[in-house]
Structure 1
Amino acid sequence: MMRPGISKVVAGVIVLVVVVALVLLMFSPISGSKQTTPKVVRVKWAGASFPYPLYLTWIKEYSKINPNVIIDYQSVGSGAGIRLLNESSIDFAASDMPLYDERYVVIPSVTGAVVLAYNLPCDELKLTPDIIADIFLGKIKRWDDPRIAKLNPGLSGDITVVHRSDGSGTTYIFTSYLSIISEEWNKTVGRGLVVQWPVGIGGKGNEGVAATIKQTPGSIGYVEYTYAVQAGIKSAIIRNKAGNFVKANETTVKAAVASFLEKLKADPRAPMLNSADAKAYPIVSNTYIVIPKKLKGDTGKAILDFLKWALKYGQAYATPLGYVPLPNEVVEIDERLLEGIEWIP
């Protein structure tokens, strides 16, 4: 038989154990209290292939500081990106064409150059605006054409033109340039995301055009500068409006941007083609992000937070990838435009 003193001690221990158990139960996850695990937000983004390498870098770097925001960017071309946004199939879009639509806020994201990449046994290819236009009009068919030979002796063979097969903002930029420098092109073909090409074979995306050029001796086509570099293909030196032959690089693109800065401050969607600056590369453009004027919930907040980060910190990733960061004046305009977007919790 247990002595009375011991019974009291045992009873006290039992009571203490029960109390502790109840306290633990009250504060345990199964008590119905809210979980502290952050919510995962998925954002769908699609459009231009022109800035694709940069956007992938932005997403990768942003995920390091916000791992619960998952942004999926699809390089489907500017035309498809705008269509998907109009259909509400994605949350926001990217386009090389400066969209004017009351439903959306459009901000420049970075600056780049469209180059004429080629597959020829020469380290340097000089082209004038009239030669470029006539190649893409199908009027110049061989590399030993007298006008080409005068600038580039020793070339021979047929010319294979490579262009985009999909709705493309890069096409819009390049055909806008052709429309400026060639009256015949402007009247017969014009500019657009899609045009009726007089000659050539198509490739899907900047990736597809670059790959086709690399695989096709005697070919020439237009791609965003970074794609030519990444594919290891050379690009032409083009005579600019001032009469100088210039190659696309950070210095020549920045010269073009600087020459149009006042116009950009008035309208950040202003074109930057065929600059009169002596050092400027002639085929330069911003690319754009297209955002609905009203954003809702966690997805909307995630978009705004990401874009604010991209404008403040993402520009630093532009130069290593072959792009040129936006001027500070344009970044400030972008930030004001983002502040004007209505967010509904």
Structure 2
Amino acid sequence: MFSTTRLRIGASLIALSCMAAAANAAEITGAGATFPAPAYAKWADAYQKETGIKVNYQAIGSSGGIRQIDNRTVDFGATDAPLKDDELARKGQVQFPALIGGVVPVVNLRGVAPGALRLTGKVLGDIYLGRVTRWSDPAIRALNPTLALPDATISPIYRSDGSGTTFIFTNYLSKTNEEWRSKLGEGATVAWPLGTGGRGNPGVAGLVGRLPNSIGYVEYAYVQQSRLTHVLVQNAAGQWPAPGTAAFAAAAQGIDWKASSAQMLTHASPPEAWPITGATFILMPRKPERTEQAAQSLKFFQWALQRGGDMAQELGYAALPPSALDSLQARWGEIVGSDGQALFKP
């Protein structure tokens, strides 16, 4: 009787242990950039319905995502500001692109329709430097001779948190405005000379929506969600393309993802390219402690790249081209378990 009871208790404990392991494996966690958050949420919902695996993603900003993966409190981190190869080697991390999108200037100007206002990178930089302070400034009027603009003070809005969206935006300004490059440069945070800060893409979108005569910058999905008035920006070819999936994809033409995972897509040369385009990236440890969750994370991103393109495009993103999959799988193969074997199984 005693032996039978002990065996039953032992069997129950084993069963409970297996159930707990299965439950843990059925959820993966990530944190970071707000730039791709709408797409990740849509992918996660579809993936859970198809596989039963829950993807819990916290949109806390790129800097937060980097901190979380450095501390190994999540299974993957997400950043729009890619780490350089030497930093990845020092941290023991693998980086790969997941999605392409665009950073779009937005304004709150009464009577100005979406896409009616045109600005260059030089003028955008001068606005955020405080060189151009009124909407009636000759530099703006020269680009918009037929547009009725108010003689009102410009209210710049920027990201107050560490942001990959800011990194993409300031990377572009550094390529198109010499004073910006020399004084402020690029970064997830910069020493903004003036303006009001908003937290996350939603925070900037909310401020621009509420403050008359303001200008800000957000990822394109937030332009659509918040119904903001977007600005056209002249690209490197001298053209004025509208932001959207096709223009973001054009900026990534000819990119060799095998050469480096830290590719920048701003100020690209194709005439159809949106000038402030960027990829968003995933960070994972080369030797993760939670190997089952790491393997599931890789399966999720493989599924997203193969099956999630249409979902991303519905939100205004551009999917990575199929040609990128081989280089991504090579990077995934660098993520190994305690036995040194690759966790990703094609």
TM-score (norm 2): 0.86
Q: Identity of paired residues, percent?
A: 37
Query: 1:64 is matched with which residue?
Result: 49
Deviation, 1:197, is 0.4
Deviation, 1:220, is 0.6
* SS of residue matched to 2:257: helix
Query: 2:220 is matched with which residue?
Result: 225
Deviation, 1:155, is 0.6
Deviates more, 1:272-281 or 1:229-238: 272-281
Deviation, 1:83, is 1.0
Question: CA 1:163–1:235 in 2, change beyond 3 Å: closer, same or farther?
Answer: same
Show structure 1 runs of 5+ residues with no match.
Answer: 1-24
User: Which of 44, 52, 65 is 1:81 aligned to?
Assistant: 65
Contact kept in structure 2, 1:265 and 1:329, CA below 8 Å: no
Query: 2:279 is matched with which residue?
Result: 286
User: Which of 35, 40, 51 is 2:23 aligned to?
Assistant: 40
Deviation, 1:265, is 4.2
User: Which of 245, 249, 252 is 2:244 aligned to?
Assistant: 249
Query: 1:4 is matched with which residue?
Result: none
1: CA distance between counterparts of 2:235 and 2:295?
A: 43
1: CA distance between counterparts of 2:337 and 2:295?
A: 7
Contact kept in structure 1, 2:98 and 2:301, CA below 8 Å: no
Question: CA 1:262–1:305 in 2, change beyond 3 Å: closer, same or farther?
Answer: closer
Contact kept in structure 1, 2:82 and 2:281, CA below 8 Å: yes
Question: CA 1:298–1:251 in 2, change beyond 3 Å: closer, same or farther?
Answer: closer
2: CA distance between counterparts of 1:265 and 1:252?
A: 23
**Alignment RMSD (CA, Å):** 2.2
Deviation, 1:160, is 0.5
Deviation, 1:339, is 2.0
Equivalent residue letter for 2:327:
I
Q: Deviations over 1:107-139 (max 9, x none)?
A: 100000000011112111111222111111111
Query: 2:322 is matched with which residue?
Result: 328
Summarize the alignment of residues 138-153 of structure 1 with structure 2, pairs less than 5 Å apart.
138-152=130-144, 153=147
2: CA distance between counterparts of 1:63 and 1:161?
A: 40
Q: Deviations over 1:248-298 (max 9, x none)?
A: 12222222111xx24434224211111122221111111000011113443
Deviation, 1:30, is 8.3
Q: Deviations over 1:33-85 (max 9, x none)?
A: 76586821232210000000011111111111222x33211110000111122
Larger Rg: 1
Query: 1:55 is matched with which residue?
Result: 40
Residue 162 in 1 paired to residue 154 in 2? no
User: Which of 126, 132, 139 is 2:124 aligned to?
Assistant: 132
Equivalent residue letter for 1:340:
E
Contact kept in structure 2, 1:301 and 1:343, CA below 8 Å: no
Contact kept in structure 1, 2:249 and 2:273, CA below 8 Å: yes
TM-score (norm 1): 0.86
Contact kept in structure 2, 1:295 and 1:301, CA below 8 Å: no
